[in-house]
């Protein structure tokens, strides 16, 4: 993620990643109490562009507020810092990681000191395969009444890592998690859609992280004239599906080949998901949409 000269932003300063230190008594390290974001920049002829930067930093500030870990930056300042970070490191195609984490505090109330760091690294493909074999996980999404599961809170990713690890140990590419009530929710770090008779279905907000890519893909599908239904559904409903895919900043739009060993009818290239993937890729390179003022 970094080399000898990589620079990160840490609490108002630019420091070498290799010299940056974290307090071992940080509350986030012990209790998972923190928030983060994940953004992507793409190389364009006009230099790197960060896709939907404004929306991501808005979500970071909202998540921070929910945890009472406020940071003294506006969305515009954070967008500017993220571009400076890329420039300082001479990076183009990247994943950008802002993290808000607590200071020294072993008590169970929010740390008074709040730290903010942001780093970026050259992007590698998130999934090894372009069409994924997926298993429905025995691990479920956390109960929305126990935490803010619609925010990117550090500790919630324990469940995500457990589900991924279990799926990979059995030879699957990715896990698909049910919500606390047994409805299909999402992947550990991506949202889920399935297609049936040219209609797209995706779980509604409530038990999912409402992804920024999910919202964009719904807009694109409507623009192409497809119907999109946000509704709850169970694993058995997928038996009749024609195709399915995941959406997310890292994942972009990734086709799913099979769920629990059952292959979908359509080849990836013949799906609505694939048209949306092509549209997403095209627009990601389009300055009009890249412009961070258009949040
Ligand atoms: N769900 C979770 C739990 C995630 O971490 C992510 C990645 N941020 C997503 C869904 C996809 O969201 P987005 O499209 O905003 O990246």
Residue 286's pLDDT is 72
In the residue annotation, 152 being an active-site residue is answered as: yes
Q: Could you give the percent of the chain with pLDDT greater than 70?
A: 95
Structure confidence at residue 124 as a pLDDT band (50, 70, 90)? confident
Q: Which residue in 37, 47, 43 sits closest to 123, CA to CA?
A: 43
Give the list of residues 6+ apart from residue 168 with CB closer than 8 angstroms, or none.
none
Residue 25 alpha carbon to ligand 1 centre in Å? 28
- What separation in angstroms does the CA of 193 have from each of 141, 187, 207, 210, 272? 17, 10, 15, 13, 10
Asked whether the predicted pLDDT for residue 289 surpasses 70, the reply is no
Q: Which of 147, 211, 277 to mutate to test the pocket of ligand 1 (most atoms within 8 A of CB)?
A: 211
Q: What is the mean pLDDT of residues 65-83?
A: 97
User: CA quadruple 88, 12, 157, 277: dihedral positive or negative?
Assistant: negative
Residue 128's pLDDT is 63
Q: Which residue in 131, 140, 151, 127 sits closest to 183, CA to CA?
A: 140
Low-confidence winner among 41-45, 90-94, 245-249, 259-263 (lowest mean pLDDT): 41-45
Asked whether the predicted pLDDT for residue 135 surpasses 90, the reply is yes
User: What pTM did the predictor assign?
Assistant: 0.95
Residue 190 alpha carbon to ligand 1 centre in Å? 5
* 255 φ/ψ sector (left φ>0, alpha ψ -120 to 50, else beta): beta
Q: Is the CB of 164 under 6 A from ligand 1?
A: no
Residue 293's pLDDT is 40
Give the list of residues 6+ apart from residue 2 with CB closer than 8 angstroms, or none.
8, 17, 18, 119, 121
Q: Could you give the percent of the chain with pLDDT greater than 90?
A: 90
What is the rounded average pLDDT for all residues in the chain? 94
Asked whether the predicted pLDDT for residue 32 surpasses 80, the reply is yes
What secondary structure, in 3-state letters, does 57-75 show? Answer: HHHHHHHHHHCCCCCCCCH
Structure confidence at residue 17 as a pLDDT band (50, 70, 90)? very high
- Residue nearest (by alpha carbon) to ligand 1 atom 12: 211
Asked whether the predicted pLDDT for residue 290 surpasses 80, the reply is no
Residue 82 alpha carbon to ligand 1 centre in Å? 19
Q: Which of 41, 175, 190 to mutate to test the pocket of ligand 1 (most atoms within 8 A of CB)?
A: 190
For the stretch 153-202, pLDDT in tens is 999 999 999 999 999 999 999 999 999 999 999 999 999 999 999 999 99
Write down all domains in the chain, each with its CATH number in brackets: 7-122 (3.30.470.10), 131-284 (3.20.10.10)
Asked whether the predicted pLDDT for residue 127 surpasses 70, the reply is no
- Residue nearest (by alpha carbon) to ligand 1 atom 13: 211
Q: Is the CB of 38 under 6 A from ligand 1?
A: yes
Residue 45's pLDDT is 85
Closest atom, ligand 1, to C-alpha of 208: 1
Q: What is the ipTM of this complex?
A: 0.99
For the stretch 241-269, pLDDT in tens is 999 999 999 999 999 999 999 999 999 99
CB 232 within 8 A of CB 183: yes
């Amino acid at each position: 993620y970094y080399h000898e000269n990589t620079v990160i932003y840490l609490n108002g300063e630019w420091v070498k990643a290799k010299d940056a230190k974290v307090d071992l008594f940080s509350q986030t390290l012990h209790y998972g109490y923190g928030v983060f974001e994940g953004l992507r920049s793409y190389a364009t002829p006009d230099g790197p562009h960060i896709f939907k930067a404004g929306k991501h930093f808005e979500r970071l500030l909202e998540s921070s507020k929910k945890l009472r870990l406020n940071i003294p930056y506006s969305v515009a300042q954070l967008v500017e810092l993220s571009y400076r970070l890329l420039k300082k490191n001479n990076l183009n195609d990247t994943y950008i990681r802002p993290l808000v984490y607590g200071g020294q505090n072993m008590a169970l109330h929010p740390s008074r000191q709040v730290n903010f760091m942001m780093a970026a690294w050259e992007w590698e493909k998130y999934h090894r395969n372009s069409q994924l074999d997926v298993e429905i996980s025995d691990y479920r999404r956390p109960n929305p009444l126990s935490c803010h599961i619609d925010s990117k809170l550090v500790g919630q990713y324990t469940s995500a890592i457990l589900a991924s690890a279990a799926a990979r140990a059995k030879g699957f590419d990715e896990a698909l998690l049910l919500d606390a009530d047994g409805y299909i929710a999402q992947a550990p770090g991506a949202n889920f859609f399935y297609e049936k008779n040219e209609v797209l279905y995706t779980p509604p907000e409530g038990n999912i992280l409402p992804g920024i890519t999910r919202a964009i893909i719904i807009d694109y599908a409507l623009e192409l004239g497809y119907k999109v239904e946000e509704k709850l559904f169970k694993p058995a409903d997928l038996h009749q599906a024609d195709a399915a895919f995941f959406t997310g900043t890292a994942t972009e739009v990734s086709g799913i080949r099979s769920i629990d060993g059952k292959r979908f009818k359509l080849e990836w290239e013949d799906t609505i998901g694939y048209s949306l993937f092509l549209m997403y890729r095209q627009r990601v390179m389009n300055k009009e949409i890249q412009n961070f003022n258009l949040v």
